[in-house]
Structure 1
Amino acid sequence: MSRSPSSMEDSSRGAIAVEFALVAPVLLLLVAGIIEFSNIFNAQVSVTQAAREAARNMAIHNNQGTATTAARVGAPGLDTSSFALAFSPTACAPNTNIKVTISYTAPGITGVFGTGFGVTGVGAMRCGG
Structure 2
Amino acid sequence: DLYNVLLSRIPKDRLKLGKRLVSFQHINNINNINKGESPTLCSTLSQPSERVMVRCSDGTYYYGQVLVGADGASSAVRQSLFRQMKEEGTLPKVDQEEQQLRQVSLLGVTNPLNPKKHPDLRDSFSNFKIILHRNSPYM
Both proteins in one fold, TM over 0.5: no
Structure with greater proportional strand content:
1
Q: Larger relative CO (CA 8 A, sep 6+): 1 or 2?
A: 1
Structure with greater proportional helix content:
1
Q: If the length of structure 1 is used for normalisation, what is the TM-score?
A: 0.23
Q: If the length of structure 2 is used for normalisation, what is the TM-score?
A: 0.22
